[in-house]
Copies of this chain bind each other. A is one copy, B any other.
Amino acid sequence: MTTVGFIGLGIMGGPMSAHLVAAGHDVRGYDVHADAVARLVDAGGTAARDVAGAVAGADVVITMLPNHPQVEEVVLGPGGVLDSARPGTLLIDMSTIRPETSIAVAEAATAKEVRVLDAPVSGGEAGAKQATLSVMVGGEERDFADARPLLDALGKTIVHVGPHGAGQVVKAANQLLVGGIYGLVGEAIVLMEASGVDAKTGLDVLAGGLAANRILDLKRESMVARQFQPGFRIDLHHKDMGIALAAARQADVALPLTGLVAQLVAAGRAMGYGSLDHSALLKVTEQLSGRSQGSSREG
């Protein structure tokens, strides 16, 4: 049994913290929303009054927060994790944020003898509920070994991918690929439909060849039917494309396709589709080709 402080009990952190309780751990949770804390108590966890309360006495602290400003405030800010954690504590930040923030957190933590891993996940709300997340972990090998039993309660694929920040880099790579493939599939659909080809039949052929991909497998029917219930919202993918571009800037590389995909995802949000599934990137391509009026059925 490990004593775990868990900060951020939302759509992702809620079910994740409950899995840790179910696995026999002593979980002390905190969230800015009291009802989220109440749900953890219902699941068998303990309520903490604030960040310091969740951290006090914890062997491991897990943070699952929306973006880097929240991580900076909760971890680095006054009254934050590093102010309260005793030396040797292991902080596992499972938020999806920019690699440079993960690295800055690691530097600040090391100065306080707190060990830290960046461990963003993919698999979304369904993966959190079913404990089938993929977890991409950056940091020291031995800290990864210590975290492993806890992470095994949360996901299926738990991989140590490199030093501090590496987890975020792999997550960013994942999101640029996913966003880009959605964009390409959308262009294929628009081209076929506008050419008088039955898109469903055409996509079936594509899904059988070198162009095959999981998005075609899972989403081609819903995309052709213009059903865009999330799933993973465009607003979140927009945030993640910003992280991918920040990661590229940090690594001093040039990623032209990623740069364009980021703007197309931004268009999806700006056009008002932010709360639809990211497969709704198809709607941006449609609008660009003047083919969207009256033909779509949203979510």
What is the interface of chain A, defined by CB distance below 8 A to chain B?
99, 122-123, 134, 136, 138, 157, 159-163, 165-166, 169-170, 172-174, 176-178, 180-181, 183-185, 187-188, 190-192, 194-198, 201-202, 204-206, 208-215, 218, 242, 244-245, 247-264, 266-267, 269-272, 284-285, 287-291
Given A174-B209, A177-B184, A188-B177: A166 in contact with B196 (beta carbons within 8 A): yes
For A161, the chain B residues whose CB sits under 8 A away are 197-198, 201-202, 205
How distant is the Cα of A138 from the Cα of B266 in the complex, in angstroms?
26
**A257 vs B267: C-alpha distance when bound (angstroms):** 13
| Shortest CB distance A100–B (Å) | 10
Cα(A263)–Cα(B196), bound, Å: 20
**Partner among B136, B184, B270 whose Cβ is within 8 Å of the Cβ of A253:** B270
Min Cβ gap A73→B in Å is: 14
Q: A205-B134, A267-B288 are in contact. Are A247 and B191 (CB under 8 A)?
A: yes
Do A191 and B253 touch (CB < 8 A)? Answer: yes
CA distance A191 to B165 in the complex (A): 12
Assess whether B263 is in contact with A254, with CB atoms less than 8 Å apart. yes
Q: Is the CB of A134 within 8 A of B251?
A: no
- Establish whether residues B184 and A176, one from each chain, have CB atoms under 8 Å apart when the complex forms: yes
| Chain B neighbourhood of A176, CB < 8 A | 184, 187-188, 191
Bound complex: CA of A257 vs CA of B270, how far in Å? 16
A97 to B277, CA, bound (A): 33
Q: Shortest beta-carbon distance, A199 to chain B, in Å?
A: 9
> Can you list 30 residue pairs at the A/B interface with Cβ under 8 Å?
A122-B209, A134-B205, A136-B202, A157-B209, A159-B205, A162-B198, A162-B201, A166-B196, A169-B197, A169-B202, A170-B192, A170-B202, A170-B206, A173-B192, A174-B211, A177-B185, A178-B211, A180-B180, A187-B257, A191-B251, A212-B214, A242-B249, A252-B290, A253-B288, A254-B285, A256-B263, A257-B260, A267-B290, A270-B288, A270-B289
Within the complex, which residue of B172, B191, B247, B260 is in contact with A172, where a contact is CB–CB below 8 Å? B191
| CB closest residue in chain B, given A268 | B254
Query: Which of A198, A245, A284 has the most B CB atoms < 10 Å from its CB?
Result: A245
Is the pair B162, A197 in contact by a Cβ cutoff of 8 Å?
yes
A166 touches B197 (CB 8 A): yes
